[in-house]
Structures are given as structure tokens and as C-alpha cells.
Amino acid sequence: MVVHPGAGQAGGTLAAAVLAHAPETAGVGGQRRPGIVHRLDKGTSGLLVVAKTRPAYDSLVAQLAARTVARRYLVVVHGLPTPGDGVIDAPIGRHPRDRVRMAVRPPGQGRRAVTRYRVLERFPAVPAAYLEARLETGRTHQIRVHLAARGHPVLGDDTYRPRSLPRPDLDPEGLALHAAELGFVHPLTGQPVAFAVAPPPRMARLLARLRGLESPTTPARRPAR
């Protein structure tokens, strides 16, 4: 769902849905994004937090700035990442030739971005892999840019998939990226809270198809924990 109205998208936005559900959010954090503390990339499913009051909004924004909000994503990528877990610490900024896209940039030409990832399951027959990714920063398209820069773009991501990399012979039904868990300190109670949501049916179908492509002699491999 698009976050707020823009060119070619006047209705059907998250901002409109928030205002319809909680009119008191009008003006919290700005007119275009009422109460919306952060955003998800277009096509990404999952959790997003909305503040109903200005104090709650300010608290959540401060927690994001301090990098104390826990954000865990599930993602299916092209290829088999090696090593099976790691940290990608690479600056992100606007692509020098395509202003719609972001890119990993040289030091001093982008903002610091840190993504931690871990392989949950491998599908050598495709090849593809199912990962979890945790954000330490929140740059635009961060997970997609970092993984693509490592040679493992997200399935269904035509923005960052290199033209030289063919699409796998399956339909991901959209961007295979899901915001699965969100944790922060509640602005009113001061207590830590955590939320989780399962991947949508389309992602479950994608994983089922990937597992079905593995022959009995090359089963989908889950790395040792």
C-alpha cells in the first residue's frame, strides 16, 4: 500500500486508512503522513507502527534515531549467500545516474547503513535462499540495496535485479520481502513491547514452490544454528 497521496495515487493510501480508523492522528507528524513513524517499501508486507498522539510520535521517532527499535525481516533472494550470516556495513545514497534508485556509495557520498542477515534455508536447485535480515539503520530500500550489492537481489525486485541475472522459472507474486517483527519501548508505559506477523500467503506459496523444486538428492538445506 502506498503511504501517502502522490502523483497518480490520490486514494487507497495508508495515510487515508489511518485517518479513517483514527481521526485523532490528523496533524500528528505532518499532514501527509498522519502518525506514520516509518515506512515500508512499496510491495513489502508486514508490520508498521503508527502513533496516535504527538508525544508517542516523538518518542518513537527518537527510538528509531537511537537505533533501539528492533526490526526483523524475512526475505527470499537470488543465489546462495556465503557466508551464511554476516553484517553489511555500506553507505547508501541516490544512484548517480538513476535518481529513482538507491545504491551503495563510496565513503562520504552516502549515509551509513547497516544490515545483519542470516540464511534460514537454501534452495540449491534454483538457486535461491530464505533469509532473515535485521536493520540497525533505516535507509530507503536498505535491505534490497545491500543484498543486491552482494549479488543476491530480492526475488520479485525488478528495480535492483541486474539485467544480466535471469528471473527464476517461478512467480514470486511480488516483492519477496516481509517485515515480520517489530519491537520498541511503549511511549506511555515505558515497557518493551514486541509484535510479530506471519508472512502473507503469497510468500508461503513461494517457499512451497522453492521446496518443491528440490530433488530428494538435493534437499533444501537449513544451515546449522
- The C-alpha angle 109, 111, 113, rounded to 5 degrees, equals 130
- Centroid of chain to Cα 21: 25
Cβ atoms of residues 98 and 113 within 8 Å: no
In the set 41, 58, 158, 171, the catalytic residue is 41
Q: Is residue 206 within a helix (H) or strand (E), and if so which, with residue range?
A: helix 201-213
Cβ atoms of residues 128 and 146 within 8 Å: no
Whether 169 is a known active-site residue: answer: no
Burial 21-43 (b: 16+ CB within 10 A, else e): eeeebeebbeeebbbbbbebbee
If you write DSSP's letter for every residue of 22-89 in order, what string do you get?
-GGGTTTT-SSSTTB-S---TT-EE---B-SSHHHHHHHHHHHHTT-SEEEEEEEEES--SSSEEEEE
Cβ atoms of residues 153 and 164 within 8 Å: no
DSSP code, position 101: S
Residues belonging to the active site: 41
